[in-house]
Structure 1
């Protein structure tokens, strides 16, 4: 579904990614782990063409047979939000505070799918129900500040799913949430992956999060993927010293859970 080959990015002469390789299959959650500055978020942004002005990019980002790096801005704009969508870390900043939830959902669909007002509303209410927003019909007319952080993140996920993307990039989607709410969001992502056949790239610094939902795990350090493989293999028998260091930094209870 998504195949990244030898992706290199330089910004103002500084090399950020140094040859990233990543393959994400349909119907799987692929965890992309690493500490701050490792390049994991930049990899996700590159897929959507959301890099800073002046970034120099080489390599290949293939969605099916198409190289996203070779698309024109107009062509890429159709892919972004339509075939590839992103959920950001903080829903308080990714949702517009002055627009209702319904407006933010339906504008997205009317732009990409060409739906009429009634069709878009019906799909929006359906999506709010799918991400388990209580009273979806009523929620449609409410504003972001009227929801908790966990509910806002669910709404952000609904917006990302509005145009039935093939690939969903979730960038630290649980970092701003408490542990109980985190678990609910991770279960939601796992369920959506299984139900819709999505390819999900889960970007996080927390290998404990990976242990809950990922099928495959790739570990990044200094702009490179240093280890990649099935979750159980990477988390219980890591082959790279950096992966072992990340695991050793987890609280003992989290490490025990990963080994179980």
Structure 2
């Protein structure tokens, strides 16, 4: 069942330049949909469009349908007024960015940031928000979550900060999580742990995950379905094993050929210990 359906998505910059040319994607509940391509292909812009975070003056067209939980109906995010979109952003649909410093305030404790988010969206009282914050940190495997609430982002390693950013994104039980290059800034060992975490959360919570990455090694370890973008268009979509072992589009083949060695398509429950990068 689709949780997020993007149809004919276009994005035009204020200068009149079109950077997305009719993007079509379907992200299903309980599955990870990988969106691959080189820098400038439109991957990140696709994710930002879904959250209404486009550059000022940019215009989006098409449809981004977010399935309403349990009803089978959907809400077109592109047609929502700002107030309604704000109520869904961080609640029904969330995003994890490449660098957690962009989403974690350096001057506020982890507990303050988590509980403020919970109280704003879920209207919890202080005690209930703190209890849920401790549970969230436990879900993402932060050691001593009670103690961690009183610490600041700089007191954690890069991998732990990214886990905290994931906890913030999951705080309001979203149906869709967009992860934009979530492991690029991490070393290989830490990267593998974060990938395993995303896989586990997807399986256990039934999350629909759109994983944006240039790294086909990450795709081979994690994605159920892979779409490849080039110049603002999706040029190929299919099951991970088929796309990565028998690609149909010439551009997909060129991305695979750029790897030091072809990345085998591994099972979705295992994260590669040494993801290989196209860069």
How far, CA to CA, are the matches of 2:102 and 2:48 in structure 1?
Answer: 17
Please give the per-residue CA displacement for 1:99-148, whole angstroms capped at 9, x wherever unaligned: 00001101111000000000000000000000000010100100000000
Q: 1:148 aligns with which of 154, 157, 161?
A: 157
Q: 1:258 aligns with which of 260, 265, 269?
A: 265
Q: 1:205 aligns with which of 214, 229, 232?
A: 214
Specify the SS of the correspondent of 1:258.
Answer: coil
TM-score by length of 2: 0.91
Aligned Cα root-mean-square deviation (Å): 1.0
**Residue 50 of structure 1 corresponds to which residue in structure 2?**
53
**Residue 225 of structure 2 corresponds to which residue in structure 1?**
216
Task: Say whether the 8 Å CA contact 2:225–2:238 is kept in structure 1.
Answer: yes
**Residue 78 of structure 2 corresponds to which residue in structure 1?**
69
Specify the SS of the correspondent of 2:9.
Answer: strand
Please give the per-residue CA displacement for 1:73-104, whole angstroms capped at 9, x wherever unaligned: 00000110000000000012321000000011
Structure 2 residue 234 is the aligned partner of structure 1 residue 225: yes
More helix by share: 1
Structure 2 residue 33 is the aligned partner of structure 1 residue 35: no
Deviation at 1:259, TM superposition (A): 7.5
Structure 2 residue 71 is the aligned partner of structure 1 residue 78: no
Deviating beyond 4 angstroms after TM superposition, the runs of 4 or more aligned structure 1 residues are: none
Specify the SS of the correspondent of 2:265.
Answer: helix
**Residue 239 of structure 1 corresponds to which residue in structure 2?**
248
**Structure 1 residue runs without a partner (length 5+):** none
Q: 1:110 aligns with which of 107, 111, 119?
A: 119
Please give the per-residue CA displacement for 1:33-90, whole angstroms capped at 9, x wherever unaligned: 0000000000000000000111111100000111111111000001100000000000
How far, CA to CA, are the matches of 1:204 and 1:165 in structure 2?
Answer: 21
How far, CA to CA, are the matches of 1:256 and 1:207 in structure 2?
Answer: 7
Please give the per-residue CA displacement for 1:189-233, whole angstroms capped at 9, x wherever unaligned: 000000000000000001110000100000000000000010001
Deviation at 1:14, TM superposition (A): 0.7
How far, CA to CA, are the matches of 1:156 and 1:44 in structure 2?
Answer: 17
How far, CA to CA, are the matches of 1:60 and 1:232 in structure 2?
Answer: 29
Task: Say whether the 8 Å CA contact 1:4–1:23 is kept in structure 2.
Answer: yes
**Structure 2 residue runs without a partner (length 5+):** 68-73, 268-279
How far, CA to CA, are the matches of 1:19 and 1:94 in structure 2?
Answer: 29
